[in-house]
Amino acid sequence: MRHFFKLFTFYFIGMAGAIGFLWTPFSWAQENTVLVMGDSLSAGYGMSLDQAWPTLLQEKLHESNPKAKWQVINASVSGETTQGGVRRLPALLDKFAPRWVLLELGANDGLRGYPIANITANLSAMIEQVQMTGANVAVLGIQLPPNYGARYTDPFFAQYATLAKKYDTALVPFLLENVAGNRELMQADGLHPTLPAQSIIIANVWQHLDDFWLP
């Protein structure tokens, strides 16, 4: 397993508490709508919202199929936990009716040392909520800093692949592959990726979800 970030004292991802939505008219929420459900790693912590990787995803989708009216709804919230995601997700599914949902949550739970069983249960609940609507789900994996100890970090990381297999979803094994641990690509807090890192993140996402967007 790759080490996630440098050693650090207890710190919460995204205490900024800012919510990030790419707001669009409700009438656009149709066949080619993608919902990104994440925390500060997807909300663009330390930069403007339109610089975060979900915006690059929309550009990538338009390039791959310019005839389609792609719309990426970035519903990521800095500081979000899986429990918060469970509470917010139903309304978002009702409002935007996405065809695809990218689920990037769990980092804040892990940094707070929440029981992995609870995190897994919350992620499972969200996957089930999405699948009940008929939408496709992609699970985006996260790794924790090594100073939390392998007895916690190993099963934490493994839960993402386990859930993807259990629910037959797409999987991005590690969202911050080739980013985490690189001082030039991480902000001063050692937790959040920089602006230049966003292009690497979208490359990570795209390479694992190449077939995800097929009908």
Which residues are designated catalytic? 40, 189, 192
CA 123 to CA 189: how far, in whole Å? 26
Pick from 93, 101, 106, 95: nearest CA to 13? 106
Query: Strand, helix or coil at 101?
Result: strand
- Closest by alpha carbon to 37, among 95, 76, 77, 91? 76
Contact (CB, 8 A) for 62 and 129: no
**Whole-number Å distance between alpha carbons of 150 and 198:** 28
Q: What DSSP string runs through 29-91?
A: -STTEEEEEE-HHHHTTTS-GGGSHHHHHHHHHHHH-TTS--EEEE--BTT--HHHHHHHHHH
User: Amino acid letter at 101?
Assistant: V
